[in-house]
Each structure stands twice: as structure tokens, then as C-alpha cells.
Amino acid sequence: MEEVLKYRSFYKFSGGGVTFSGGEPLLQPKFLAAALQVCRANGIHTTVDTSGYANPKDAREVLQHTDLLLLDIKSYNPQVYKKVTGVDIDKTLEFLRISQEIRVPVWIRYVLVPGLTDDFDDMRNLAEFLRGFDNIEKIEVLPFHKQGEYKWKTHNVPYELADTPPPSAELLAKAREIFEAERK
């Protein structure tokens, strides 16, 4: 935190702050909550970028000191979500509910992966579900890309998405249209 506090004047001048991301920052909830508290006490804006997979007690502790939440929701379809993340979606949805209860502004991030998260009905269902949250400020549809593929090769780990292309401009536009239609 000493290093972070050195840049207070820059954060104030630029309108920026500190983003806690990862990996997954909620794997260290006590550290994260303590760091967020120091930032808040020093007037530094904070953002937490997470999958929201946390127990509710940790979620409350972290969110009460968070200024903005970037929440990744890989899919609203429980089977697809489990396939993509290896865990159930329940904790992520509960995390979102807690963020609304605490009144933390949220930006939803949805990664569009052809052949995996590109089902229009699943997107409509997620968009409809998200309509019930008045703390969601933005829904971003992010196109899948290949930029991190080299990391898998470096570690000799099979990359299951090696043959997956980025989404076409048309697919990306349609996905964004689905989420935008529900925001109106």
C-alpha cells in the first residue's frame, strides 16, 4: 500500500484509482478488503475485477469498500457456465445480488466465444435477468481473442480454444444488440 499511496495526487488529477484484478482477487478476501479500506480512507477510487465466485461473507466484506465492480458472467446457462469455469453459477449470481444490496455500481463483462457463449437465447435470458438490477451501469460484450494463447503453450498445457476463431463483426453486433435492447 505504500507504493499505491505514493500516487495519490496522480489518481486525484487523472480521475483514476486502483483496480484489483487477477487471476481472481477474491482468492485473498482479507487482504483485498484491507487494501480497499486503506484506499477508501485515502480517497482513492477502487475497482474490483472478479468472477464473483466467493462466499457471501467475503463478498459483503469486500463490496462494502468497493467503488466499482467489474463482474464477469461467462454464461447464464448453468451447464455452459460450469463447462467454462468449472464451478456453479450460484455464487456469482449471489455476489451480484449482494452488490445491489450494498449499492455498488457494476459493469457486467460478457466474453463472446463462438461455439461456446454465442447462444442468443442464453444471452437474452441473461439480459432479462440483469434488467432486475438497478446498480448495473454498463454491460460490455467483449470479443474472444487469441492474445493469451501463447501462455498455454509456454506452460505445456493443452489449450481447448486453440481452434476457436474470434467472433465475426456480425455476431458481435447481434450480441451487443441483445444486451442493449434489454437495457432500454
Mean pLDDT of 67-94: 95
**Topology, domain 2-8+17-183:** TIM Barrel (3.20.20)
Side-chain half-sphere CA neighbours of 180 within 13 A: 7
| Cell output for 92 | 456469482
pLDDT at position 184 is 64
* Contact between residue 20 and residue 1 where contact means Cβ atoms under 8 Å apart: no
Task: Tell which residue, 71, 50, 158, 173, has the closest CA to residue 112.
Answer: 173
Please, what is the end-to-end C-alpha distance for the chain in angstroms?
Answer: 41
> 105 versus 153: which is more confidently predicted?
105
Quick check: 175 pLDDT over 80? yes
Quick check: 91 pLDDT over 80? yes
pLDDT band at 22 (very low <50, low <70, confident <90, very high): confident
pLDDT at position 142 is 95
pLDDT band at 182 (very low <50, low <70, confident <90, very high): confident
Quick check: 43 pLDDT over 90? yes
- 95-132 pLDDT, tens digit per residue, is 999 999 999 999 999 999 999 999 999 999 999 999 99
pLDDT at position 146 is 80
pLDDT at position 158 is 85
Please state the domain extents for the chain. 2-8+17-183
Residues 28 and 81: their CA atoms lie apart, in Å, by 23
